[in-house]
Structure 1
Amino acid sequence: MSKVPGWRVLCMAAVMLPAAFVVHASTPVIWKLAGHGDFIRGETRGVSITGKGRLTLSPFLDLVFESNEPLIWSLAADSRGNLYAGTGNDGKLYRIDPSGRSEVFFDAEELEIRSIVIDRSDRVYAATFPDGRIHRIDPDGTHAVFFDPARDGGMNGPEGEPGSDPDSDPEGGTGNGTGNGPGNGPSGDTNYIWSLALDAGGGLYAGTGEQGRVYRIDEDGGVHLLAELEEAHVMALAVDGSGRLIAGTEPGGRVYRISSAGAISVLHDSPYGEVNTLLVGEDGAVYAGALSGPRRGARGGRAGTAGASMPPPSTGAPDDPGGAPMLNAVQVTASAEAADRPSVGGFATGGSVVFRIELDGRVEEWWRSQTDVGLSLAIRGENELLIGTGSSGRLYSVRERGVGTLLNELQESQITALSPDASDGVVVATSNRGNLYRLRSTPVSEGEYESDVRDTRGMARWGRIRWESEQPPGTSVRLFARSGNTDSPDQTWSEWTGPYTDPAGEALVCPPARFLQWKAVLGTENEEAPTVSSVSASYLTRNNPPRVHAVTVYEPGVYLRDSAQGQVGQSTQTDLPPVIAAQVGGRGNGRGQSASSGSPTYRKGMRAVAVRASDPDGDGLSYEIYFRGEAEETWKLLESERRTPSYSWDSETFPDGEYVLRVVASDAPSNPPDQALEAELLSEPFLVDNTGPQVTRIDVADGQLSFMVRDGASPLYRVEYAIDGGDWRVVHPEDGVTDSETEAFEVALDGLESGEHTLAIRARDTANNTGTGKRVVTMP
């Protein structure tokens, strides 16, 4: 077997662009799919997706039986190789002999046959739905009602013996449901029989709802209530190697173990609402499938026996992995009302989980799907767990924890039952439509995998397609591709182009378009199968212009340390005007803030602009910044070819007045000069004010200081005075609020001693410019 090389050096010439009819981006995009998570989003027909993330040919599925029924709920095989399939919605039981000949073996009055088991004498026990009964059908077709809860539900106790004591029960547990003699059974209806199981001695067990009862029915028809659980429905049953019964329930999602004497213990208390499938492996481990929705409500308050209490959940379970909320069941039958039935009354949607419960009680999450619902389990070969799912008809194989292989994806919606057959194979039962297949170990001769659709988010031209594969002799891998301008392929898409047969790369010949899809066709002439581990395709999109969303000019004195010209020292001023303090991180409260790279800080005279821009192609951007004063016509360049979306400059080189900035963003860093595109945006007008307020008309008369403060551009922010070099004292204007460009002030000079005094006045505006005034007075 030789390994075929995949992606090598990206060859730009291979893109083979003709003379430019549109401007295209210069950087190609490589769309690569590799691994299980990528491939599972596509569609398979005769192709498996391994747990290691490789595409290969699926095992062959041989069609055994077409029932022409919508549903096959149950499946079993007898010792002679006959298969039995229980169907809905007409309640027919089919028998298919080894030659493939089929017949209606039994026709029930009820709508569905939900569970079947076959004893050592090849007698079939069939549980019907919705009026739960168990019918026994002999090999010659003779049949009779073997168990009817309405008729037999009172026959509960094994010869009137009391429930066993856990201390005397060799299986351990907390009690049983057999503490009543004949005729003294618990009251309440048993409406549904969800599950059946047989032990090695021929004893038949029935899991029922809505009272959570488990019955044991002897071969001679004797009925015993083995246990009544604190759950409404017993959805699944299995018997382990020691003859103990395993039960899965709803709505609490528990896995119970019930001894032959009826002692109950909890193997696993899952965080989910329903355990719907059970299987005991050859090593004794229990596999339990749960629907990954939360519990639908509190468990019922019924006790397992009079005076018995349930034990705490067993330890060793993993932490709750969570899960999507349980969605409404999709009812596919025409049967009874669904108000209190579990979701398996139809087919649930959402995801599911399979747990593995070891003999020592340790619980591991073995498999999980966010979308596929586990409906059936089987073991094939040595510890290969098969999981049948809906609603995409997928069959999974799990050999080790957390590594699931998608073996097959059938055209039917659900895989509702799996059963080993006499030839060491597995028979697969489906619903919507009701068919039977036999799973072979040899691969199909050809299979297809279709990728999901790639949205390039613009008109694209295609480069090369490459893949990594292993191709044993006699096998082949061919790729095809198509393109279109709708998000799902339709008649407007191109035909499939190809085949592409060189994994090292071939030029795609699809027409330019927005969307691309590829498919891989795998083939074999023998029992070997090729594998594909990755597929990559390159493309160039039409170059789209950048977008400038916002241009923000900061308040006077605010600058961004990583965008300032040269080295600008940091001011230690802490009493900034509020509008400025708000942008530099709270300086207005006097606490200050240490500047870090890119964070706004303060320095008198500085100004800063920040740009918010994007490019739909992901191209790098550069910026040119222009300014223009009020009543000016020509834009002057302030900064060019800037690679960061911010810039700070010394505004003291600008005369006072109003200005506007024009920011031009270009994708030139990622495109040839003749193909670069631009976008621009103007800032809001902003004021440059570097001139402080003027203090005028300073006068002292009759012990009163009066003066005027006038600013030519900005409102006043704070005015203070000091006497003889003392502390500054805030003074308010005559109108009470310092908020205008011109304000008048009066201050009473009470308590001044006679003689000469120096009066100083300091005024600041909202741009943090300062003006001062002085007056020397002599007090009498």
Structure 2
Amino acid sequence: MIWLISALLLALPVLAVQPVRWQQRTFEEFAAGKGAGVEIRAEGAVQLAPALEELPKLEAERIWSLAGGPDGTLYAGTGDLGRIYALPSKGNPVLLFDSPELAIHSLVVGPDRALYAGTAPDGLIYRIDAKGQVSTLAQTRSAYVWDLKFDGRGKLFAATGQPARVLSISMAGVVDTLCTLGDQHVMSLLFHQEHLYAATARAGRIYEIADTTARLLCETGYEEVHRLTALEDGTLYATALSQATEDQKSKSALFRIDPKGAALALWQAEETQLLDLLVDEDGTLLATAAQPAQLCRFAGDGRLSLVARFEDFAPSSMARLPSGALCLGASQSGGLYRLGAAFAGEGRLDSSVEDFGVYARWGNLRWKAELPAGTRLAFQTRSGNSQEPDPTWSAWSAELEQNGSTLSSPPARFLQYRALLRSAAGSKTPVLLGVDIAALPANLRPEIKSLEVQTYQPPGQSEDQAQGGPPLRGRRPPQRKSLRLLRWQALDANSDKLSYTLYIKSEGQRAWKKAEEGLEQSSFIWDTETMPEGLTKLRLVATDLPDNPAAQALEAEQLSAPFLIDNSPPDLALEVEKGEPLRLRLRCTDRISPLQRAQYTVDYGDQAQQLSPEDGLFDGQEEYARFSVEGLAPGEHVIAVQVWDRLDNVGTVQLVIQIKP
């Protein structure tokens, strides 16, 4: 056994971006690809499958049932012409019997080496002796004979549908009804350790039959229990399925019933149908599956391996021959295949297509594998820029047999590998355990999606304070208005770390001035107190220099919308006009921002009175307001006026007046 241990030793030049690794280790990852002649094991390994051979095509639309004879002959029951064929181990198929029925749904070879066949739609049981003589053994008075089994004493039992019954048939053709089950069909029978079990369709139940009594073991919740089998320890297994409806997809399951009677669905999936089931020589379970068409292997705990996948063949029935070969039949196409006891000489796995997100160059391909003497493992790759391989992709590369070889496929966004497994001896197989491919994505320019400049609102500051209202008594005043909150969103397709530099340019200036550099976060609280006032712009530059050499680093920039820096309060002048009652005139100006509102208080009271400008709207940089103050008691009073500009800078003026008695 040779162990090829994966290690990432890249044959790449000085890196401009961080390399990425495409690794496949698990069953799910390998099974996402397409295999031919390989088995994908549940534990995450790929090996050669048994050699697969297509058998001669029969004159039949469907293969409903299979049985293996003691001399290695394969018998096939077909539809829709109700014929039975014999396929000897050597030679061509022979039409054994052309029945008047439409379908041969069940076959079994008896202890007397005669072949017994169950039919539809008349529910007949035929006996074909070793000389090929055909006789009608029994009429079941059911429409379907779905299964035939012999017990250890040479007695024949039948599972029928419409009505759903379990029958015993003597060799003289005497039919006895063991039990009639409250269902539409009995699909499968199983004799194990002198116990008889039956599986039904419509209610999807599993029964134990004792004499003429049926004891319910499991109601699966599926429409049909298709097949039963058992291990030596008495554990039962069953395939169950439900057809698709308007409200739900088709689904299927593998059930286990332990010797104490506890039932459990080990494996369940939608849009699949598990059908036939048998115990393999190593104690695992083999199951045929349609939708998708494949041969499955289940461990006792329900872990799934894929033995074979098919394109135009959906296996539904199985039979094991004395040689160890496994034969498969398809009820939808009439095809037949045989899997030998030895491994195939060659198989391949075409991986799923990996999307690296951007144009990339390829590094080394390393793998982990078991390679017994006489086995080989090689790889090919191809690349392209479409999600699915098409004629625009590169051709498959030359085979790589040296672990750690550098890929020769041209740079692209998508990559696929092909693993080629070969064996010179049918008793040995290479086992692929893992694949590791290094890639170097092209460095892409960062992208700045947005840049915003907002007035900073400290945590805990009230909404009134944020809008420039006066602080309430006993609470801390709002923080200074020179703070701005800068926010931006930037992306890097390579996931490189970005750093940011801020530049500023005021109205009338030609050159950008650096304000901040080396920023790593995507927001920044900026104090504009020392900055020139007036209309201002910011330029944000993002660079991927932290993860790239200086010569290969890329930048992106974004300009902000023009905004005002204004940290100066409005200028106010307040004077008393002549006449009664008391009348005051306010003049307010701001050299940067338009004015937005004004108010006054008397003697520092809490009740502020709003002021209106003479032109009716605070929207200019110079405004005038006149207002009267009535009802003042004789004595000294303080009239205080506050005016806010558009950036919430507050100007204040007060006037002390005397009211005569």
Q: 2-side partners of 1:235 and 1:533: how far apart?
A: 40
- 1:722 pairs, out of 567, 589, 601, with 601
Q: 2-side partners of 1:658 and 1:726: how far apart?
A: 37
Distance 1:370 1:685, change over 3 A: farther
Residue 407 in structure 1 maps to residue 358 in structure 2: no
Q: Is the 8 A contact 1:546 1:616 kept in 2?
A: yes
Residue 524 in structure 1 maps to residue 404 in structure 2: no
Please name the residue that 1:671 is paired with.
Answer: 548
Please name the residue that 2:128 is paired with.
Answer: 138
Please name the residue that 1:684 is paired with.
Answer: 561
Output the amino acid matched with 1:2.
I
Residue 141 of structure 1: CA displacement?
Answer: 4.5
- 1:776 pairs, out of 642, 656, 660, with 656
Partner-residue secondary structure (3-state), 1:395:
strand
Deviations 1:510-558 (A, max 9, x none): 23333322212222222222212112222323322222211122x2234
Deviations 1:276-311 (A, max 9, x none): 4433333322222234788878xxxxxxxxxxxxxx
Greater shift, 353-362 or 711-720, is seen at 711-720
Residue 621 of structure 1: CA displacement?
Answer: 2.0
Please name the residue that 2:216 is paired with.
Answer: 265
Residue 379 of structure 1: CA displacement?
Answer: 0.6
Q: 2-side partners of 1:698 and 1:364: how far apart?
A: 93
Output the amino acid matched with 1:609.
L
Please name the residue that 1:38 is paired with.
Answer: 29
1:283-682 aligned at under 5 Å gives the runs: 283-291=233-241, 325-326=248-249, 352-369=252-269, 372-430=272-330, 433-503=333-403, 505-526=404-425, 527-553=427-453, 555-558=454-457, 573-576=461-464, 604-682=481-559
Distance 1:773 1:416, change over 3 A: same
User: What's the TM-score, normalizing by structure 2?
Assistant: 0.85
Greater shift, 462-471 or 513-522, is seen at 513-522
Q: 1-side partners of 2:480 and 2:332: how far apart?
A: 75
Q: 2-side partners of 1:580 and 1:132: how far apart?
A: 93
- 2:634 pairs, out of 754, 757, 766, with 754
RMSD across aligned positions (CA): 3.9
Distance 1:431 1:44, change over 3 A: farther
Q: Is the 8 A contact 1:483 1:512 kept in 2?
A: yes
- 1:279 pairs, out of 206, 229, 232, with 229
Q: 1-side partners of 2:295 and 2:460: how far apart?
A: 70
Output the amino acid matched with 1:626.
Y
Please name the residue that 2:179 is paired with.
Answer: 226
Larger radius of gyration: 2
Q: 2-side partners of 1:63 and 1:418: how far apart?
A: 14
Output the amino acid matched with 2:495.
G
Q: 1-side partners of 2:198 and 2:618: how far apart?
A: 82
Greater shift, 456-465 or 46-55, is seen at 456-465
Please name the residue that 1:86 is paired with.
Answer: 77
Q: 2-side partners of 1:240 and 1:589: how far apart?
A: 88
Identity over aligned pairs, percent: 29
Residue 39 of structure 1: CA displacement?
Answer: 0.8
Q: Is the 8 A contact 1:244 1:260 kept in 2?
A: no
Output the amino acid matched with 1:39.
F
Q: 2-side partners of 1:120 and 1:580: how far apart?
A: 101
Q: 2-side partners of 1:646 and 1:194: how far apart?
A: 76
Q: 2-side partners of 1:672 and 1:724: how far apart?
A: 67
Q: 2-side partners of 1:253 and 1:768: how far apart?
A: 76
Q: Is the 8 A contact 1:760 1:774 kept in 2?
A: yes
Q: 2-side partners of 1:734 and 1:214: how far apart?
A: 100
Residue 378 of structure 1: CA displacement?
Answer: 0.9
Distance 1:43 1:68, change over 3 A: farther
Q: 1-side partners of 2:185 and 2:631: how far apart?
A: 95
Q: Is the 8 A contact 1:392 1:412 kept in 2?
A: no
- 2:199 pairs, out of 244, 247, 262, with 247
User: What's the TM-score, normalizing by structure 1?
Assistant: 0.73
Distance 1:464 1:69, change over 3 A: farther
Runs of 5+ consecutive residues of structure 2 not aligned to the other structure: none
Partner-residue secondary structure (3-state), 1:551:
strand
Q: 1-side partners of 2:133 and 2:446: how far apart?
A: 78
Please name the residue that 1:595 is paired with.
Answer: none
- 2:119 pairs, out of 116, 127, 133, with 127
Q: 2-side partners of 1:112 and 1:735: how far apart?
A: 102
Please name the residue that 1:731 is paired with.
Answer: 610
Q: 2-side partners of 1:589 and 1:472: how far apart?
A: 85
Distance 1:472 1:80, change over 3 A: closer
Q: 1-side partners of 2:542 and 2:468: how far apart?
A: 28
Please name the residue that 2:6 is paired with.
Answer: 6
Deviations 1:419-456 (A, max 9, x none): 23334553322456533344333212222122222333
Residue 417 of structure 1: CA displacement?
Answer: 0.9
Q: Is the 8 A contact 1:412 1:432 kept in 2?
A: no
Distance 1:352 1:637, change over 3 A: farther
Residue 395 of structure 1: CA displacement?
Answer: 1.7
Output the amino acid matched with 1:574.
S
Partner-residue secondary structure (3-state), 2:299:
strand
Distance 1:603 1:73, change over 3 A: farther
Q: 2-side partners of 1:739 and 1:266: how far apart?
A: 86
Residue 143 of structure 1: CA displacement?
Answer: 4.7
Q: Is the 8 A contact 2:187 2:198 kept in 1?
A: no
Q: Is the 8 A contact 1:759 1:774 kept in 2?
A: yes
Deviations 1:242-278 (A, max 9, x none): 544332434x5554555543445251443x5554443
Distance 1:658 1:499, change over 3 A: same
Residue 739 of structure 1: CA displacement?
Answer: 7.0
Q: 1-side partners of 2:610 and 2:204: how far apart?
A: 76
Distance 1:368 1:572, change over 3 A: closer
Residue 602 of structure 1: CA displacement?
Answer: 6.8
Please name the residue that 1:320 is paired with.
Answer: none
Output the amino acid matched with 1:86.
G
Q: 2-side partners of 1:575 and 1:392: how far apart?
A: 62
Q: Is the 8 A contact 1:57 1:443 kept in 2?
A: yes
Output the amino acid matched with 2:167.
R
Please name the residue that 2:63 is paired with.
Answer: 72
Q: Is the 8 A contact 2:199 2:227 kept in 1?
A: no
Distance 1:93 1:734, change over 3 A: farther
> Which structure has greater strand proportion?
2
Q: 2-side partners of 1:419 and 1:708: how far apart?
A: 105
Output the amino acid matched with 2:161.
T
Q: 2-side partners of 1:60 and 1:765: how far apart?
A: 87
Residue 134 of structure 1: CA displacement?
Answer: 3.7
